[in-house]
Amino acid sequence: MKVQEIYVDGSTRYMLLDSEGSPVIVVTKYLKCLDQIGKAGNTLKSYSYHLKLYFQFLRENQIDYKNVALNILANFIGWLRSPYQSTKILTLKSAKARRSERLVNTTLTCILSFYDFLSRLDQDKK
């Protein structure tokens, strides 16, 4: 996973690319929607990186973003707090969290907003 900066009409935009270098279309649509409603460039950038973390977690756990339940989000929060970048490492003693609580909360807000967007897209198709 990689966040790619692109330049469109003199402005910087962001895309999430998968491990093969192809855009993650659903994330691209979400970021485009945020851009169209006037979200700041820094917000678009940070949301790109938050979603990158989320999709990395999903890929590592072989979970499709369409099949996420509350327990998966709880595991994601634990993964964000973990000092290691893998769910496969168990610690025997406590270690300092990799990310601050503020960043964990901001990331979770982004993910929930992403799913809200997906739900609204699905409702528009009906």
Domain spans, the chain: 2-125
Q: Which two tokens stand for residue 11?
A: 């402005």
Strands 2-8 and 11-17: antiparallel
User: How long is the chain?
Assistant: 126
Q: What is the pLDDT of residues 29-51, one digit of tens each?
A: 999 999 989 898 899 999 999 99
Query: Is the pTM value of this prediction over 0.75?
Result: yes
What does the alpha-carbon distance between residue 32 and residue 114 come to, in Å, rounded to a whole number? 12
Cα 56 to Cα 17: distance, rounded to the nearest angstrom:
11
pLDDT tens-digit map of 72-121: 999 888 888 876 655 555 555 555 556 778 888 899 999 999 999 998 87
